Structures are given as C-alpha cells and as structure tokens.
Chain A
Amino acid sequence: MKRARMALAAVAMSAIMSPFALWAEDRTLTVVAPWEIKGFDPSVTGYAFTRMEVAETLIEIGDDGLPIPALAASWIVSEDGRTWRFDLRPNVTYHDGSRMTAADVVHSLEIARGKPGVLDKVPIESIEAVGDAAVLIRLSSPFSPLLAFLAHTSAQILAPASYAADGSVTQIVATGPYRIVSVEPPQRFTMERFDGYWGEKPEIARTMFLAAGRGETRTLLAESGDAQIVFNLDPASLQRLAGNDRLEVRAVPLPRVITMKVNAAYPPLADAQVPRALSLAMDRQGIASALLRQPDVAASQLFPPGMAAWHNPDLAPLTHDPERARKILAGLGWMPGADGILEKDGVRLAFTIRTYPDRPELPLVATALEDQFREIGVDATIAVGNSGDIPAGHQDGTLEAALIARNFSLVPDPLGTLMQDFGAEGGDWGAMNWKSDALIAAIDTVLTTGDAELAEEQRRVIARILQDELPVIPVVWYVQTAAVSKDVENFSIDPFERSYRLSRMRWAR
C-alpha cells in the first residue's frame, strides 16, 4: 500500500516536472554584452564566436593562464626553439559533418597571418601540414609565447566551407560545442548544441548572444529577466542590480589596466620627473571607490595581482601625495603663473589628454584626473574622441597624453602586449618617445629563453623598470562585471575574456 502510494507520488511528481524538463530543454540562455557583430571574419568578430563556444583554436588557455590542448592534442618544440610540431586531435568534426584535416588548419592559420593584429607579429617562416594529422610551424627566431598567440581568437580553425574563394569568411563552420543556427548582424546570433562535438557535451541546448550598446538597456534586460547573463555593467547599475533578489552580481579582475600614456617628447612632459609628479597627483583610491565603486582596483603598479607571474608584491606602491608632487615640480623650476597654472621659461605645464567612450569609465576617470592635476597647478584638457585617434596621434606625433584601457591578455600571455608597447620605437598603445634598452633586453630574454628561472627574474626586472620610469602611468585595474539570473547554475567569469563558459552551466531545477 505504502509502496503504491510512493509510486503514485513518483508518477505525479514526474507528471508535474516533465513540462519543466521540456521547458528547460527548449529554453534559450541569452547573453548580453555591448560588442556588436560586424561580420564573420575571425580577425574582426572572432572573439564573439570564441566566447559563445562556436569556434575553437589549436590551443586553449586554462584558468591559470597557461596553455592547454584544444584542437592540438599535443606539441613539441625543437631544441633551438624554432620549429614547433602540433599533433592534431583525432576525430574532430566540423559543424557541417566534415572531418578536420591538417590542410584545413594550415589554411585557417595562413589566412589569419595575413590579417593585421596578432599572428602577423610572430616571426613565422612557414606553416605546413605533416601528413593528415600534424602541423609544423617554423620560426625565424625563437618565440616563447607562440602558444598564447595561437590561442588568439583570430587564429580560429574553420572548415573550408567557411571561406569564399578570395579567403573572406562567409559563414562560421567550426568545431565548438555549439553551432550557429542564425546570425543577424549587428545584434544577435543564436546557437544550438552540436551533437558531434569531440569533448564533453554541454547541458544547455540553446543559447543566444545579443549586443546592446547602451548600458541602460543592458541593465533593464537583466532586471526584466529577458536575459540570463549580462556583461559590462556601469557602476551605478551595479549597485541597483545587487539589490535584486532574482539576480547575482559578480566582479572579476581582468588583465586590463587603465593607464595614462604620455608623450615624453612633448616639451612640458619632457622631464622624466614630470610623469612622476603627475602620478603622485593621482588619487587612485578616490577614483576607485567613489567613481568606479570598486575600492580594490586602485593600481599600485602596472600589473594587477591577478597576473601572478608579472605582479611584483615587493615593488613600492604608487601613492597619492600632491604635496610631494608640487615639490618635485618646484624643484624643476615650474612656478605658478597668474592663473595658478605652473610655468617655466614661458611654457605652461598644460597638455591635452585624449580618450574614447568605448569603455564608459574612461571619460569619467579622465575628468577626475583633470581635477586632480589642477590641484598641483597642471592644466589638462580632456578630448573625448574615437579610439583610433590614439594610435593615429602616436604615429603623427601630435598626441600629448591619452587615457586608455590597455588589454594585457590581447593574447593570453602579457608578453604579446609588452613587446608591442615598449619596443625601441615605443608602441601605438604604449610608450611614446621613451625607450629603455634594459627593458628591451629583458623582454627579449623572456621571449626567447627556455629557462623558467631566468624568465621569472627578467619579468621582475620588467615590472621594476616600468614602475621606476612610468612610461605609461597606471591609474586603475579593470574589473569585469556581470549580472546573472538565479535560473542559471555554475556561472563563472573567465578572467581572460575568452569564453562565456556556457557549456559548463546548467538550468537551475
């Protein structure tokens, strides 16, 4: 009798639950972020298809930032560090059912190499297929971060069916756990689970990416429950969403830093002590807690603690000391003029800081800095324009200073960014008319050495030189924020911004 009742209850339960199970299967997990889809080319929109786990690269990056096998199952590097052999994962099928071959991989990588940005910065001599299951990359000089470069989204491996005759990408036929169902640029694309995936199959069957450029829209999408995961929230919304009991708000530090780039050849900024004084004038703690409402993000050095290999806890932290800043400038001969702005030999201590609104906090931080600089008698003018104006101003020499959000995981190894930013010619997003032979030598050593201990020591040298000479002045570290619905379990943020990790999540029962 008891058993019969139990059975009855079980039947009743499953009758009640089954529509829920169906509903969960049918339900679409919607992710909202500000970035619009501009096309299919991996060098343009590849990040979106990597984050939604549609397309994959030879190498993946683990949570600790170290390379792990993805479409390449293993690799060997030659003694001289110039020949890399990648053995491909067997039995990988594309979303159209065709089999991945070494020739396809070479084709995808060759096309990626022809695009500006990432792979064109690697000293590659040749990429060739070895039989059907391996790829050989020959370099003209050793290049230790090669694996990180191959993990960049522009190096996605796509099926031959993805490309038109001229090499342009017309559709995404890739290998990831999700495959594209529809793409409607610039706003959204939808996906479904790919049953032929080589790895573990995801639980959530349908997903959608929606681009919403306005922060207000994103916040409201989270509040209304239309989207389950919403990224890049502005500081004010963050507080409001934290009070919503259907949502959870998360923040994770990213290897991205808001820095002030200075033109060391611009006369008022030419003395190396001036950037030092500007750094002392910055109230980073105030900006972090009052403006960004994230007290821990005030930068004490360029590399945030999350970049464990690069952050150097022994460095004397950057501090806020306007009194000392004034003394330094007075010592250099800068004296207050009639309007309180410092002058020397008829030159005013004035410059323009260019910045851009793509990251909404940049104009805010710039305005705060303008105010803080004025306190020590420095006249900074803010010019908010397009992000392209900064490399353009660097190239034509007209840039005086810029406030930027620099990404150190452009490729998941910060070396990729450092070699671009602090080379002999400086970098479009890095040093300007500033050069340190010791720093270049240290970067070169880390790039080419196979000796882990030596690399570790040289990384410390790099961090120390950047802290002592401030070719770019760190302001605040960057935090990625997200609101996630409590309908979703197992949510986490990838600090390398490579994946939204939807394949690891599941619907709450």
Chain B
Amino acid sequence: MIRLVSYRVLQAGLVAVMVGALTFIMVRSLPGDMAFRIAAGRYGYDLVDGAAAEQVRRELGLDRPAIAAFADWLWSMARFDLGVSLVSGVPVVVEIRHQLGHSVELAVVAILLSMVLGPPIGVLAAIRPGGLFDRLVFVATVGLRSLPQFVIGLLLIYGLSVHAGLLPAAGHGGARFTVLPALTLALGLAAVSSRIARDATITVMASPYYRFGLTKGLPPGETFRRHGVRNIAVPVITYLGVQLVYLIEGVVVVETLFAWPGIGHALVHAIVARDVPMIQGTALVMGLMFVVLNGLVDLVCHLIDPRRRAA
C-alpha cells in the first residue's frame, strides 16, 4: 500500500517536469511568430498588426533566450506558481480552477453514467453468449465506439434537444445542461465497459470456483453475488484506467461542441494563441489528473481483490 502510493507520487513528480519541458519545447518549435499569435489571441484578427505584436513582445520579454524562459518556469513551478495567462492576464491557477471544476463535473457524471449503462448490459449479454441480445449489444457497442464523439454529440442534440425538446442543446448551467455532453462521453465509455463486463462474466461463470458454488447448492443469484460481482469488477475497473485517455481526449471535443467552459477547450484555445503558461498549466493538471486517477484505480482494485494485498 505504501509502496503503491509512493510510486504514484514519484510518478507525479516526473510527469510534472516532463510535461513542462515537452510543452515548452513543442510550443517554441511550432511554426509562426509567437508575438503575432499572442496578439491575435488578445486583440482579435482585425487589430493584430506589427505594432501590437511589438508591444506584446516587449511586454512579455519574448526576445529572451528560450533557456532563460524555461529556467524561470521551473523556478516558478518550484514555488507552486503557474504564472499568468499571456492572453487574458488572469493567473493561470484561477483560470484552471474555474475550468477544471467544469471538466471534472462532466467527467465524473460521464463515468457514473457509463457505469450504470455499461456493465449491467454486459452482464445481461453474457447470460446467453451468442444470443439475440448479445449480438444486438455487440453491434451497438461497435457502432458507438467507432463513431467519433463529435458525431454522437450532434446526433444526441438533434434527437433529444431539437426534435424532442427535452434538454438544452448546448451551454452550461444547471443539471439539465450536463446530461447531453456527459451522455456523449458515457456512451463511448459504456460501449467498452460493457464488452469487458461481458467477457469477464463469461470467464467467471465458466470458472471452476463458480461452478463449485453452484454445485454446492447456492442459488444462481447468490452465487453471482458472492463469487461473480467482485471478480467481474476487477477487469472492468482496471480497464476504466485505460479508458481515461479516451475520456480526456473526448472532453476536448465535447466541450467545444457543447460550448462547455472546460479545461480541454481552454487547452485548444491556449495552443492556438500560443499562451505558453496556460498550455503548461493545463497540460500539467491533465497529466497529474491522469496519475491520480490511475492511482485511485489501483487503490480500488487493491481493496476489491484480496489476492493483490497478499502479493
């Protein structure tokens, strides 16, 4: 347990330095003049000109050598200071806190929804492998996983909002606004988790310990509860860790489509405007989130599966 946590803490530190260095190098090597990009981000394309870019260059010291700028960033990082957005002038921490909250809200609802939808359907499909329901679920999951989230989102807006008028099409506010973007993400996640749950269920139900449970006279429901659920949960939850990549990638697309003020959306805009501190801060937070969530997945598996505790 202690080893597990300390390993993740070490990993977090490495991620922070790597993400910082990589984003820094990548932004510097992107084509185009940074001062003009930042000026375009600030003042809009109608007002960006040589004079505006010059002012930006002077104000931000963009002429300094790259290595000095990077050393500055490392020093600020060591003091837990993420700097100030080059476009809005607001501290990066403030912007990220505002946007991260919205993204986390979206991601959590999406994961919960996918957990409600995916595994139960997978288990039901596993009752009669190759049956009609199993085959229908197979087609649906392949379809949902192969469609880009952008298309799923558009279809959901079109069906549930424009035609049925049940939910707002886009924007951000109460719980009603969360349903469509979260569902867009959840459907893709559920498609995978239902497959994992189905396969795990089939394996578990064919295993000797499960058959022994039935043989010794436990009713099927009781057998499933005592010997099935935990064993199925381990691969489903482990795989959730892998799917976080899909979730983080999806957040970028879904936030833009639904005009949702999240961190993925902020990252895209920061890259376009060459807002280096925002890119570094956002990438850092996303990288750390990845470590933390994977750590949580480890921890949950650790608690569910007693065999790991012995090992």
Contacts and interface: CB of A to CB of B under 8 A. Distances in A.
B43 interface: yes
Contacts of B256: 213-214
Nearest to A120: B51
Given A184-B172, A388-B39, A410-B47, A214 B261 contact: no
Contact of B88 (A38, A118, A187): A38
A39 B89 contact: yes
A44 interface: yes
B259 A185 contact: no
Given A117-B47, A185-B261, A186-B261, A44 B171 contact: no
Contacts of B31: 385
Interface in B234-282: 256-261, 265-266, 269, 272
A391 B50 contact: yes
A213 B49 contact: no
Contacts of A117: 43, 47, 52
A116 B45 contact: no
B259 A217 contact: yes
B261 A226 contact: no
Contacts of A126: none
Given A214-B257, A216-B257, A226 B170 contact: yes
B48 A387 contact: yes
B108 interface: no
Contacts of A43: 42-43, 47
A211 interface: yes
B29 to A, nearest CB: 15
A413 interface: no
Given A220-B157, A220-B158, A410-B46, A116 B51 contact: yes
A480 interface: no
Q: Which of B32, B42, B168 neighbours the largest number of chain A CB atoms within 10 Å of its CB?
A: B42
A406 to B, nearest CB: 8
Interface string A206-218: 0000111110110
Contacts of B169: 217, 220-221, 223-224, 226
A394 B52 contact: no
Interface in B19-37: 31-33, 36-37
Contact of B32 (A118, A217, A386): A386
Given A386-B272, A428-B50, A187 B259 contact: yes
A391 B259 contact: no
Contact of A226 (B38, B90, B95, B168): B168
B188 interface: no
B83 interface: no
Contact of B42 (A38, A223, A410): A38
B282 to A, nearest CB: 13
Contacts of A351: none
B142 interface: no
26 contacts: A35-B44, A36-B269, A38-B41, A38-B42, A43-B42, A116-B55, A117-B47, A184-B261, A187-B260, A187-B261, A188-B171, A188-B172, A188-B261, A214-B257, A217-B259, A220-B154, A224-B168, A226-B161, A226-B168, A226-B169, A356-B45, A385-B31, A388-B38, A389-B32, A391-B50, A410-B47
Interface of B: 31-33, 36-53, 55, 87-90, 95, 98, 154, 157-158, 161-162, 165, 168-172, 256-261, 265-266, 269, 272
Interface of A: 30, 35-36, 38-39, 41, 43-44, 47, 116-118, 120, 168, 184-188, 210-214, 216-217, 220-221, 223-226, 356, 358, 385-389, 391-392, 394-396, 407, 410, 420, 427-429
